[in-house]
Amino acid sequence: MNQYDYIIVGSGIAGLYTALLAKEQGRVLVITKGSIDDCNTKHAQGGIAAAIGKSDSPELHFQDTITAGDGLCNEEAVHILVNEAPDRITGLVNFGVPFDTVNGEIALTMEAAHSMPRILHAGGDATGEHIEVTLSNQVRSSKIQVLEDCLATEILVEKGTASGIKALDCRTGSIEEFRCRFLILATGGAGQLFKFNTNSDIATGDGIALAFKAGAEIIDMEFFQFHPTALHLPGVTPFLISEAVRGEGGMLRNVEGYRFMPNYAPQGDLAPRDIVARSIVYEMKKTGSDRVFIDITHLPPYVTTTRFPHIYRFCLDHGLDITKGLIPVAPAAHYMMGGIKVNSWGETNVAGLFAAGETACTGVHGANRLASNAMLEVLVFSKRIMEKSRKIAKPKAATTSQSLEVRHWLSQRQLPKTIPAPSLSALQQLHWDKVGIIRNKASLTEAADTLAAWQQSLALPTDRPSYELNNLVLTGRLVTEAALLREESRGAHFRSDFPQSSPEWQRHIVFTAK
Ligand SMILES: Cc1cc2nc3c(=O)[nH]c(=O)nc-3n(C[C@H](O)[C@H](O)[C@H](O)COP(=O)(O)OP(=O)(O)OC[C@H]3O[C@@H](n4cnc5c(N)ncnc54)[C@H](O)[C@@H]3O)c2cc1C
């Protein structure tokens, strides 16, 4: 029987953690388009933020999160995030996640824009892998049904209520329907929009496209975080060099060996990500280079190898001993702050449809995410989805609206006469060049016109790559159109034609299908 209480799409931290809680409340199906461990979660290095240190407090964590969010955080959601964090960490420890300890206490480190050491980590710099493996082992040994190589292609909506999902069996090519009372999208981000990105191949904005087509509101899409420091070696896919490396004393230097960050921000190397990413772009331009460097050669080698075993090993495997040599880095697309708009219970405006994790937008990150708040957000708001759904007899459309929103839909565009044929590489190049770290009206208009033309010309999808390309084009349109509308610079969104932030724009852009 294809009828479930909960269907969860995705098997990263959001999907698996939610499934483990949901199994106490009903029959659960998890569908995931690759194998269970294909996700962004397993690549997370730095850790999870929580104010559990003796001199720390939820108030300080709140303040840091709000400051990073640059005027656009949902304060109620941030309060929930920082206050519920310690209990959710206990929950994760109870599931068996082996956080690193010092003298029997959980070890805490510093990261950019945090005022306290409050980042919990596991296996040094392999936090995500430990979380993913622990949760997937728990799911495997439970009664939760998991369908791998199963790609969600459409949300079934009946009388305004999400009632299930259509999915493609990627092995056989057949389409099947699954029904449920509650549908939870946990499909992750959309880093594959950009040529240089730190994300796994699965990050193709599927949840955004599915939800948008089902009538859900999509918010804050112009805010895409670029991580300042991805390893930049010829022929090597960008690999994240965690912020924690700078947290432990790593210094950025340009190709001439000059330490430039103190010239750009009082926090120097630990300034917020958007400032560091833009400063690196300026330095690269100034010096005519495609990279800068992180220097940790002053750290005792055992600190580097024990604190960052994963990064150390990866670099060594590519011929670079980071205890002795500088690490070449450049910015790369990293995290989608916007997403499917949800209230503080993870509910969307479509009855029965919830969203969790990177695909959702609870409003805690505002215009710029504070490092290590992403996986915390997953834990806190996934738990709240379960609390809410336990009390619901019949799903109803939730009120998600906040003050300070402007509503839009995707309008017609002037279609260019000549455009490149749509392909993943053309789409990634377009976003990197025209919708990247520094944008302006001309570049965004060119991208918006091209994406609109691609959307019209794409054939109906039949397999995983073609569904993903369709989803990326739609997600890219939402990012680009929102970036075009926001005529200011704020957080991760920087317009060279509007370099200042404007009080008029202290509001959110929301897209709906009509
Ligand atoms: C390199 C890197 C380092 C990071 N470091 C940190 C960190 O230190 N701390 C932190 O807090 N955050 C970090 N982040 C961000 C954080 O890891 C992610 O935001 C978080 O793990 C996302 O979890 P998720 O479950 O929402 O998505 P994911 O883990 O990406 O999982 C998404 C799942 O959905 C599935 N899926 C997608 N579309 C479909 C579909 N159509 N049908 C079926 N299944 C589908 C995918 O296959 C996958 O299983 C990092 C991210 C990256 C990329």
Q: What are phi and psi of 37, to 5 degrees?
A: -95, 10
Here the tokens at position 125 are 């710099």
Give the list of residues 6+ apart from residue 263 with CB closer than 8 angstroms, or none. none
Kindly report, residue by residue over 42-53, the tens digit of the pLDDT: 999 889 999 999
In the sheet that holds 119-120, the strands lie side by side as 48-49, 119-120, 108-109
What distance separates the 2 farthest-apart alpha carbons in the chain? 66
From the CA of 373, give the closest atom in ligand 1. 11
State pLDDT tens for residues 137-179: 999 999 899 999 999 999 999 999 999 999 999 999 999 999 9
Residues classed as catalytic: 273
CB atoms within 10 A of CB 69: 26
User: Ligand 1, closest atom to CA 36?
Assistant: 49
Summarised one tens digit per residue, pLDDT across range 494-508 is: 999 999 999 999 999
In angstroms, rounded to a whole number, what is the distance separating the alpha carbons of residues 365 and 374?
8
Q: What is the mean pLDDT of residues 452-465?
A: 96
Q: Is the CB of 238 within 6 Å of ligand 1?
A: no
**pTM, two decimal places:** 0.96
Helix (H) or strand (E) holding 486: none
Ligand 1 in contact with 45 (CB < 6 A)? Answer: yes
Distance from the alpha carbon of residue 86 to the mean position of ligand 1, in angstroms? 22
For the record, the structure tokens of 383 come out as 């738990």
Q: What local confidence, expressed as pLDDT, does residue 514 receive?
A: 75
Q: Tell whether ligand 1 has an atom less than 6 A from the beta carbon of residue 346.
A: no
Question: 153 CB less than 6 Å from ligand 1?
Answer: no
Closest residue to atom 38 of ligand 1, CA basis? 187
291 C-alpha to ligand 1 centroid (Å): 26
Tokens 């919830």 locate to 354
Contact call for residues 294 and 219 (beta carbons, < 8 A): no
Q: What is the pLDDT of residues 406-440, one digit of tens each?
A: 999 998 898 888 889 999 999 999 999 999 999 99
Measured torsion, CA atoms of residues 232, 233, 235, 240, in degrees rounded to the nearest 10: -50
Does the beta carbon of 357 lie inside 6 Å of ligand 1?
yes
Taking each helix axis from N to C end, the angle separating 75-95 and 374-390, rounded to the nearest 10 degrees, works out to 90
Tell me how far the alpha carbon of residue 358 lies from the centroid of ligand 1, in angstroms. Answer: 6
| Most ligand 1 atoms within 8 A of CB, residue of 246, 375, 471 to mutate | 375
Identify the band that residue 276 occupies on the pLDDT scale cut at 50, 70 and 90: very high
| Residue 472 in contact with ligand 1 by CB distance below 6 A | no
> Does residue 389 have a pLDDT over 70?
yes
Instruction: Please check the confidence at residue 26 and state whether its pLDDT lies above 70.
Output: yes
Distance 413 CA to ligand 1 centre (A): 32
232 lines ligand 1 (CB under 6 A): no
Q: How far is the CA of 333 from the centre of ligand 1 (A)?
A: 14
Q: How confident is the model at residue 1 (pLDDT cuts 50, 70, 90)?
A: low
Contacts of 321 (CB under 8 A, 6+ apart): 315
Show the tokens assigned to 379. 């834990």
Please say whether the beta carbons of 169 and 148 come within 8 A.
Answer: no
Ligand 1 mean position, distance from CA 44 (Å): 8
Scan for tokens 């300026």, then name that residue.
282
Average pLDDT (344-353) is 97
391 three-state secondary structure: coil
User: What percent of the chain is predicted at pLDDT more than 70?
Assistant: 99
Hey, which bits of 74-200 come out as E strands?
A: 101-102, 105-106, 108-109, 119-120, 145-147, 150-158, 161-169, 175-185
Per-residue pLDDT band for 401 (boundaries 50, 70, 90) equals: low
pLDDT, tens only, 234-259: 999 999 998 889 988 999 999 999 99
**Residue 41 in contact with ligand 1 by CB distance below 6 A:** yes
Backbone angles phi, psi at 372, to 5 degrees: 70, 10
pLDDT in tens, 62-80: 999 999 999 999 999 999 9
Contacts with 367 (C-beta within 8 Å, 6 or more apart), sequence order = 69, 70, 71, 72, 220, 223, 337, 490, 491, 492, 493
CA distance linking residue 487 with residue 494, whole number of Å: 9
Residue 312 confidence (pLDDT):
97
By most ligand atoms within 8 Å of CB, the mutation choice from 7, 30, 40 for ligand 1 is: 40
What does the chain come to in residues?
514
